[in-house]
């Protein structure tokens, strides 16, 4: 089943919060994730740079670490930066998600692609998911037990009231990338391209990125 892009929040078996992202694409598969110190960007692979002229939504920061590295914001588009910047300025996760996603709205492409977002806050151990579609906006704090994950996608599974959760086996960011690319329920979700994970550590968040072809 093809569900497009996916964001997920999770808690490791030993109680550390996580936020994950997977690019799944039928039209623009030639993309990868580029890691920096406190952010991750989705960009076209070398030789495919002109793809952004065909679709401006395919390149963006998908992860930002803010609040002294204690908060991970993960999304499928340009909403990453305003959500992160509002939280860095002291706004709550709920308000930053609602205001940013309402302002930007769903993507005005051929599919009215929803914007989806996740926040993992190490300071208070909370996880949030949000989605804005052409028919509504939903932001929710997700209560998770250790070893559990929840997710929302751009297509099909884009309602936070759906049964989109399960057991989370990953213990670090590299394992989390493998999981969202092809583990558990995600093995049945088609067209994986690349994945990014932010997993809380003792001091902040560990970041990892992996292309589907690297598995």
Q: What is the mean pLDDT of the chain?
A: 96
Q: From CA 11, how far away is CA 52, in angstroms rounded?
A: 35
Q: Does the pLDDT of residue 43 top 70, yes or no?
A: yes
What is residue 203's predicted lDDT score, i.e. its pLDDT? 93
Residue 179, helix vs strand vs coil: helix
Q: From CA 38, how far away is CA 25, in angstroms rounded?
A: 25
Cα 199–chain centre separation: 12
Does residue 69 contact residue 38 with C-beta atoms inside 8 Å?
yes
User: With the CA atoms of 169, 178, 3 and 100 taken in that order, what torsion angle do they form, in degrees rounded to the nearest 10?
Assistant: 80
| Over residues 34-59, mean pLDDT | 95
Q: Does the pLDDT of residue 215 top 70, yes or no?
A: no
Q: Does the pLDDT of residue 198 top 90, yes or no?
A: yes
Quick one: tokens of 64?
Answer: 């930002």
Q: From CA 171, how far away is CA 173, in angstroms rounded?
A: 7
Q: Does the pLDDT of residue 33 top 70, yes or no?
A: yes
What is residue 172's predicted lDDT score, i.e. its pLDDT? 98
Quick one: tokens of 137?
Answer: 């906006």
| Over residues 156-178, mean pLDDT | 94
What is residue 3's predicted lDDT score, i.e. its pLDDT? 97
Domain 6-214 -> CATH class: alpha beta
Q: Does the pLDDT of residue 209 top 70, yes or no?
A: yes
- Give the pLDDT confidence of 138-161 residue by residue, as tens digits: 999 999 999 999 999 999 999 998
Quick one: tokens of 40?
Answer: 């991750």
Does residue 141 contact residue 19 with C-beta atoms inside 8 Å?
no
Give percent of the chain with pLDDT exceeding 70.
100
What is residue 163's predicted lDDT score, i.e. its pLDDT? 77
Residue 136: pLDDT band by 50, 70, 90 thresholds?
very high
């Amino acid at each position: 089943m093809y569900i497009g892009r996916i964001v997920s929040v999770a808690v490791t078996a030993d109680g550390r919060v996580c936020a994950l992202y997977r690019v799944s694409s039928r039209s623009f598969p030639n993309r990868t994730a580029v890691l920096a110190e406190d952010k991750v960007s989705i960009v076209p692979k070398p030789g495919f740079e002109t793809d952004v002229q065909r679709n401006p939504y395919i390149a963006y920061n998908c992860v930002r670490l803010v609040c002294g590295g204690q908060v991970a914001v993960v999304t499928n588009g340009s909403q990453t930066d305003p959500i992160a910047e509002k939280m860095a300025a002291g706004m709550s996760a709920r308000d930053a998600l609602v205001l940013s996603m309402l302002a930007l709205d769903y993507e005005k492409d051929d599919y009215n692609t929803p914007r989806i977002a996740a926040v993992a806050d190490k300071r208070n151990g909370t996880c949030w998911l949000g989605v804005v579609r052409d028919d509504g906006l939903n932001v929710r704090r997700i209560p998770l037990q250790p070893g559990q994950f929840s997710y929302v996608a751009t297509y099909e599974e884009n309602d936070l009231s759906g049964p989109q959760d399960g057991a989370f086996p990953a213990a670090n960011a590299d394992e989390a990338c493998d999981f969202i690319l092809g583990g558990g329920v995600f093995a049945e979700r088609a067209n994986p391209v690349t994945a990014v994970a932010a997993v809380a550590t003792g001091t902040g968040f560990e970041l990892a990125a992996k292309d589907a072809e690297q598995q």
